[in-house]
């Protein structure tokens, strides 16, 4: 919708706002499968163990068809709106085959107008990393990767129910940086039996990779999760507050700007959809 003026009423009477065009949109695409369900996760995700060759027990083609139908049903609600960011989350979207991801993005492009410099983020877990897979995702249009590292401590990764180990996390970051211009590292703190020093060491190691973006989350016990039913031994509130203060200071001194509750970015590295 080029240069047309749209007017709509605000809560105050007789007040109108004029726009030259409809505001852009971001598109979130959910992939609900994982190799293993983490005990702290309250997202719509379901475990479908891999057979070791990047194949899992879900019907990828059927799900992609359903996603496409869902998008088409919503199109009348967003006519004239451009997409400036796509976020593919989960679950573990990196369980998608290269062909499946390529088909998904092709289906979206065929139905929605996109900005030329659109940001396309995909979540990935170290336990599902394959070099050729990342290269294929990049070739399909993914230009930002968000890695679910969570910790570089094997003891804490085990306590979180993660399928990867610390060495796999380090390798995944290196592979991602060789493939994508923009990489985000997800970290968590307040982990079972974690000390402030251990939390600081996790962040220091993450900073050593010099990625442009770090997401730092406090572990919380969400309802309807395994951790909610069987709580692990977590640090007390005073300790986690100390962790948060020291971690935020460390990020600030490393020139990461906090622009959302859990999002920290270097200059010009803020994401459109975190």
User: What average pLDDT does the segment 227-243 reach?
Assistant: 97
Q: What is the pLDDT of residue 213?
A: 98
The pLDDT tens digits of the residues spanning 10-30 come to: 445 555 455 567 788 999 999
Strands 114-124 and 83-90: parallel
* Closest among 84, 223, 85, 247 to 151, alpha carbons compared: 247
User: What average pLDDT does the segment 56-79 reach?
Assistant: 91
Residue 194 has pLDDT above 80, yes or no: yes
User: What average pLDDT does the segment 255-265 reach?
Assistant: 97
Please, what is the Cα angle at 134 between 216 and 163, to 5 degrees?
Answer: 55
**How remote is the C-alpha of 40 from its chain's centroid?**
16
CATH for 27-265 is 3.20.20.70
Residue 136 has pLDDT above 50, yes or no: yes
With cut-offs at 50, 70 and 90, classify the pLDDT of residue 5.
very low
Residue 3 has pLDDT above 60, yes or no: no
Q: What is the pTM of this model?
A: 0.88
The pLDDT tens digits of the residues spanning 73-122 come to: 999 999 888 999 999 999 999 999 999 999 999 999 999 999 999 999 99
Locate 74 and state its tokens.
């919503």
Report the mean per-residue pLDDT for the chain. 90
């Amino acid at each position: 919708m080029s240069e047309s003026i749209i007017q709509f009423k605000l809560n105050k009477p007789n007040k109108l706002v004029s726009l030259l065009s409809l505001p852009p949109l971001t598109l979130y695409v959910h992939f609900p499968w994982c190799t293993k369900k983490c005990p702290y996760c309250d997202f719509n995700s379901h475990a479908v163990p891999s057979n070791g060759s990047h194949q899992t027990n879900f019907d990828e083609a059927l799900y992609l068809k359903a996603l496409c139908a869902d998008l088409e049903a919503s199109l009348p609600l967003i006519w004239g709106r451009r997409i400036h960011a796509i976020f593919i989350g989960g679950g573990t979207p990196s369980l998608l085959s290269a062909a499946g991801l390529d088909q998904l993005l092709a289906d979206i492009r065929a139905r929605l107008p996109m900005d030329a410099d659109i940001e396309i983020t995909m979540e990935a877990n170290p336990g599902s990393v394959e070099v050729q897979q990342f290269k294929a995702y990049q070739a399909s249009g993914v230009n930002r990767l968000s890695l679910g590292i969570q910790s570089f401590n094997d003891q804490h990764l085990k306590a979180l129910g993660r399928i990867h180990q610390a060495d796999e996390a380090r390798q995944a970051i290196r592979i991602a940086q060789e493939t994508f211009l923009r990489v985000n590292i997800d970290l968590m703190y307040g982990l079972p039996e974690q000390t402030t020093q251990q939390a600081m060491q996790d962040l220091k190691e993450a900073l050593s990779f010099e990625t442009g973006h770090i997401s730092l989350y406090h572990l919380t016990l969400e309802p309807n999760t395994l951790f909610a039913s069987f709580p692990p031994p977590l640090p007390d509130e005073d300790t986690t507050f100390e962790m948060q203060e020291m971690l935020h200071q460390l990020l600030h001194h490393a020139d990461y700007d906090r622009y959302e509750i859990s999002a920290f970015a270097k200059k010009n590295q803020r994401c459109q959809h975190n």
